[in-house]
Amino acid sequence: LNRRNGICGDIDEQQWQRYLATRVEEIRAGTVAPREFAHADGRTMMFSVTALSGGKRLLTYYEVTEVKRRDAEIENANAKIAETFANLRTMVDQMP
């Protein structure tokens, strides 16, 4: 299980049992919209459940670490651009 691999971080038995019960309940209930979770090793993953015929479930996991990193880079670049334009506007406004 992922807990023994250290993927879920250092959680105690009670926390693990609650987490496990919640996950099993979600899977049994059927469709779970994609949601993000972080591994203890820093990777970011998405998880979803799709109900199939005959009571079966399709569990999908996909790694989005690189996408999240790029999103953060874009956000930082946009913030710098906004700051630059604000500074330019201030300088223009202060011109005689």
Question: At 52, is the secondary structure helix, strand, or coil?
Answer: coil
Q: What is the pLDDT along the chain (96 residues), one digit of tens a residue?
A: 466 666 666 778 888 888 889 889 989 888 888 999 888 788 899 999 999 999 999 999 999 999 999 999 999 999 999 999 999 999 999 998
Please state, in angstroms and rounded to a whole number, the distance separating the CA atoms of residues 6 and 96.
63
Nearest to 52 by CA among 76, 74, 34, 27: 27
Amino acid type, 6: G
Q: Given this model, what pLDDT does residue 4 score?
A: 63
Amino acid type, 88: L
Contact 20, 2 (CB under 8 A): no
Q: Given this model, what pLDDT does residue 93 score?
A: 92
Q: Given this model, what pLDDT does residue 37 score?
A: 85
Q: Given this model, what pLDDT does residue 20 score?
A: 84
Please state, in angstroms and rounded to a whole number, the distance separating the CA atoms of residues 1 and 4.
6
